[in-house]
């Protein structure tokens, strides 16, 4: 890849409206995914998670997120191991936030998560449904 293309991709990565994290799948001796390491994050990552890059880069997911098991291990690592990209919505209890997450492969053993914090939108949808029910 030319230096110009690499510079353009780096600019895209840092200026996207979505949070982005690049990950490496961690396998056990039997070749089963047991965790993932955070390799890099963009500037929006901190806005949507509250975690600074220096708190997470190079760390295993369990350490970075303070969980006993890696969050969304199967959903994430399956893509890093060859499954197609996919998108899902989820409430992440440790942060009390709801996210829309896309998972994309980066090559064997690697994947990216691209995500938006949709907590406020979900709260507004619930409030709207409650108001509609009340008005009926």
Query: What pLDDT, on a 0 to 100 scale, did the predictor assign at position 105?
Result: 97
What's this model's pTM, rounded to 2 decimal places? 0.88
Q: Rounded CA gap, 3 and 5, in Å?
A: 6
Q: Residue 134: pLDDT band by 50, 70, 90 thresholds?
A: low
Query: What pLDDT, on a 0 to 100 scale, did the predictor assign at position 130?
Result: 73
What are 4-39's pLDDT values in tens digits? 999 998 999 999 999 999 999 999 999 999 999 999
User: Rounded to the nearest 10 degrees, how much is the dihedral formed by the CA atoms of 78, 104, 64, 32?
Assistant: 20
The residues with which 112 forms a beta bridge, in sequence order, are 22, 104
């Amino acid at each position: 890849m030319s230096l110009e293309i690499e510079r353009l991709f780096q600019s895209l990565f840092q200026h996207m409206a979505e949070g982005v994290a690049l990950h490496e799948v961690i396998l056990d001796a039997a070749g089963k995914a047991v965790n993932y390491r955070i390799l890099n994050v963009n500037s929006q990552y901190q806005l949507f998670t509250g975690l600074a890059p220096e708190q997470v880069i190079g760390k295993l997911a369990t350490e970075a997120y303070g969980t006993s098991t890696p969050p969304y291990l199967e959903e994430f690592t399956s893509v890093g191991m060859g499954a197609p990209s996919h998108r899902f919505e989820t409430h992440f209890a440790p942060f009390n936030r709801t996210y829309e997450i896309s998972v994309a492969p980066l090559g064997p053993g690697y994947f990216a998560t691209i995500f938006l914090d949709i907590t406020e939108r979900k709260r507004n949808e619930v409030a709207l449904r409650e108001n509609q029910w009340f008005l009926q």
